[in-house]
Amino acid sequence: MKLWVSALLMAWFGVLSCVQAEFFTSIGHMTDLIYAEKELVQSLKEYILVEEAKLSKIKSWANKMEALTSKSAADAEGYLAHPVNAYKLVKRLNTDWPALEDLVLQDSAAGFIANLSVQRQFFPTDEDEVGAAKALMRLQDTYRLDPDTISRGELPGTKYQAVLSVDDCFGMGRSAYNEGDYYHTVLWMEQVLKQLDAGEEATTTKSQVLDYLSYAVFQLGDLHRALELTRRLLSLDPSHERAGGNLRYFEQLLEEEREKMLSNQTEAELATPEGIYERPVDYLPERDVYESLCRGEGVKLTPRRQKRLFCRYHHGNRAPQLLIAPFKEEDEWDSPHIVRYYDVMSDEEIERIKEIAKPKLARATVRDPKTGVLTVASYRVSKSSWLEEDDDPVVARVNRRMQHITGLTVKTAELLQVANYGVGGQYEPHFDFSRNDERHTFKHLGTGNRVATFLNYMSDVEAGGATVFPDLGAAIWPKKGTAVFWYNLLRSGEGDYRTRHAACPVLVGCKWVSNKWFHERGQEFLRPCGSTEVD
């Protein structure tokens, strides 16, 4: 195995070792896997060349021996009458055949396997595969995509063709099943059957699919269909022990149901629609509104409200730095006032910040409102890093720019946070400020509550990835180089609960953002308090 291949592979995986799995939470980190896999393919091809050269030698020897033995066996004594033939026979059996044995036993795969074994410790884990599967299901629900659409890869804005095989779809269904998500198990196992019925080749069998599917529909309360699917499974595999036990159990349950209900209902009334299942209700009360806004539906931007939205040049309260070169400001919402600024960051600045942030990216966390401790959460799927001004002059320059635009001081603001969203990356509805029952959230900072949010979009997103405000019915779409700004607190210091917002799942694309959270302390004269609670 060539040394340069090993060196390149180890260099790549030295980078990946800093990631500590959770690849699915950052597309930026997953790009490293692309290059690592490319190097693995190169290593594999070199192994194949060695094997092919070895087999070519063995084949040449076999052909040579076949021609020789067919001739010698026809007249063994006559052949051996020649002393040279007798010598060569002894030599072949004593020296040449053992040499061939050594060639056959030569382990050409040792180098490749050694490389692969070392690299596997940096590969995605089961957690990554489950996380990626959940991400596809999240996109499926949020953007109302059926499994067939996802399987065929027919997503808006895609540049590359990508399809899911029968075995891929089976993996999706099995991941859902293992998580106790029987709703998605049914959808994906039905897709597997559809593709198998269409004649697609696969290692997955219908028996395997029906085994999962029958139990999943039973868990969803569809006893009739569970019974029918179990019978289909037994017709394909009569020796399936679990199916036989399930069949007897389902029949018993069905009989008990009939006995209980026949006293006041007819058999026709007992029948229920089969094969149609409702998505389970989850913990998020505004789920429907949130997902509708992510799809661009239900936006409450009425003609009357639109008339109150304007564009202007913004000089940051006559900041000297902006008097000559003001920023373009556009109203995104009237109340609360949400604005977008254009050309806030150049492409060069964006690339430099991404370059600095990427090695520091770690799974994004949320602060536990009770303990104040940072922890990961399933409703926030991204990786983030925090940049200090000493990291690079561009960080200090962007910080000063945000200060000039907002008229607020960055001295008490949090560090610049850079985030990259993963497969189906999202951040479900949340508040940026701490509420009355979370007073200790920012106590350790000593700078008060988060008064305002400045959000930089550092990439375009082909589909999905909007910033939405469910209580307002507002949706703001990413545009590279722009930034949006809003106040989280009223002038009285009370939280503005209308600013509850979310980052929608990224359907297609790679979303990069950076944000600055300004705090109350230091803003007393820059944004004076109001006289009432609602100011």
How do residues 444-471 score in pLDDT, each as one tens digit? 899 999 999 999 999 999 999 999 999 9
Q: 416 — phi, psi (to 5°)?
A: -70, 120
| Confidence check: pLDDT of 98 > 50 | yes
| Confidence check: pLDDT of 516 > 80 | yes
Whether 371 and 15 have beta carbons less than 8 Å apart is answered as no
Assigned CATH class of 126-262: mainly alpha
H or E stretch at 384: strand 380-387
Predicted confidence at residue 185, as pLDDT, reads 98
Other C-beta atoms closer than 10 Å to the C-beta of 146 total: 11
How many alpha carbons fall within 13 Å on the CB side of residue 252? 6
| Confidence check: pLDDT of 5 > 70 | no
Predicted confidence at residue 369, as pLDDT, reads 56
**Topology at the third CATH level for domain 296-519:** Jelly Rolls (2.60.120)
Residue 14 pLDDT level (bands cut at 50, 70, 90): very low
Give pLDDT tens digits for 485-497: 999 999 999 999 9
Task: Give just the sign of the alpha carbon dihedral 277, 283, 286, 287.
Answer: negative
Structure pTM?
0.84
Which residue is it, tokens 């373009």?
A: 328
Q: 286 — phi, psi (to 5°)?
A: -100, 25
Residue 115 pLDDT level (bands cut at 50, 70, 90): confident
Give pLDDT tens digits for 189-245: 999 999 999 999 999 999 999 999 999 999 999 999 999 999 999 999 999 989 999
Predicted confidence at residue 188, as pLDDT, reads 98
Residue 265 pLDDT level (bands cut at 50, 70, 90): low
CA–CA dist 133, 479 (Å, integer)? 28
Helix (H, G, I), strand (E, B) or coil at 24: helix
First and final C-alpha spacing in the chain: 71
Residue 1 pLDDT level (bands cut at 50, 70, 90): very low
Give pLDDT tens digits for 267-322: 444 444 566 899 999 889 999 999 999 999 999 999 999 999 999 999 987 888 88
Written as six digits, the tokens of 375 are 């922890």
Residue type, 533: E
Determine the angle formed by the axes of helices 182-197 and 206-219, rounding to 10 degrees. Answer: 150
DSSP state for residue 334 in the 8-state scheme: T
Domain segments of the chain as ranges: 27-121, 126-262, 296-519
Secondary structure of 77-130 in HEC code, one letter for each residue: HHHHCCHHHHHHHHHHHHHHHHHHHHHHHCCCCHHHHHHHHHHHCCCCCHHHHH
What is the Rg, in whole angstroms, of the alpha carbon atoms belonging to the chain? 33
CA–CA dist 467, 427 (Å, integer)? 9
CA–CA dist 316, 223 (Å, integer)? 65
Q: 518 — phi, psi (to 5°)?
A: -85, 140
- Cis omega before residue 336 (within 30°)? yes
CA–CA dist 353, 395 (Å, integer)? 7
